[in-house]
Amino acid sequence: MTEKSESQSIPAGLRQIARSFSRTGWISFWSQVVLGVISGVVLLVSSAFGGNPNANQNNPGTGFGAFLAVCGLLVLGGSIYMAFRYTIIAKQLQSPNPSQRPRKADTIQVLRLGLMVNLAGMLVTLFGAYAIVGTLVGKSISQGQTALLDPNRVISGLDMFVVQANINTIGAHFVGIVATLWLLNRISRT
C-alpha cells in the first residue's frame, strides 16, 4: 500500500522519463557489454595467435590500428559505465522525495558527458579501422605473384577478425550514441 502511494506522489511524466532511462540504459548497457566482450576476445585471440611476429614490422599500420582498437575498447568501458549510470538516474527519478531526485540540468549534463564519451570512442576506433584497413588494402594490392614468396603480404583470417572487432566496437559506440540522443530527446520534451 505504501508503494502505491509513493508511485502516485511521482508525476506521470516523471515516471515515464524514469522508465525510459531504465529501459534505454539497460538496453544500451547490455548491447555494449556483448559487443565489447566479443571485440575484446577477438583482439586477444588475434594478438595471441597473430602468426608471424615480423608482420607488424613490415606493416606499421596494423600495430597502430590495433593499439587504437584497444583504446576504443577502453573508452567503451567508460560508455558502458555511462549506460549503467542512466539506470541509476532512473531509480533516483522514482524517489518519492523530490529533494533526492536529480535536477534536469544535472541529468542533461550526464547525458552530454555520455554523448562525448561515445563520440570520442567512436573517433578513436574509426582511426584504428582506417589504419588497419589501409594496411590490408596495401597487402591486397601487393599480393599478386609475390604473395607466394613473402608470407607477410598475405591477408589472413586473423587480419579480418581485427577488422570485425573494430566494427563491433564502432557498433557499440553507435548504440551508446543512439541511446543518449534518445534520452536527451525524451528529457527535453518535458
CA nearest 73: which of 156, 161, 171, 158?
Answer: 171
Domain contains 56: yes
**Domain count along the chain:** 1
- Three-state secondary structure call for residue 51: coil
DSSP 103: P
Is there a domain that residue 65 lies in? Answer: yes
Q: Does the residue 15 lie in any domain?
A: no
> Do the domain assignments include residue 16?
no
CB within 8 A of 75, min separation 6: which ones? 117, 120, 121, 124, 125, 173
Domain boundaries, position 145: 31-188
Residue 23's CB is within 10 A of a number of other CB atoms, namely 14
E strand segments, 59-164: none
Q: Count the Cβ atoms, other than its own, within 10 Å of residue 48.
A: 8
Cα Rg, the chain, nearest whole Å:
22
Each of the 190 residues of the chain gets a pLDDT tens digit; together they read: 445 555 557 788 889 999 999 999 999 999 999 999 999 999 888 888 765 554 444 455 567 888 999 999 999 999 999 999 999 999 998 988 888 889 999 999 999 999 999 999 999 999 999 988 888 888 777 766 555 556 666 666 777 888 899 999 999 999 999 999 999 999 988 7
Q: What is the pTM of this model?
A: 0.83
170 closest CA partner among 108, 131, 119: 119
Q: Is residue 169 part of a domain?
A: yes
d(CA 138, CA 120): 27
Cα 166 to chain centroid distance, Å, stands at 10
Q: Is residue 143 part of a domain?
A: yes
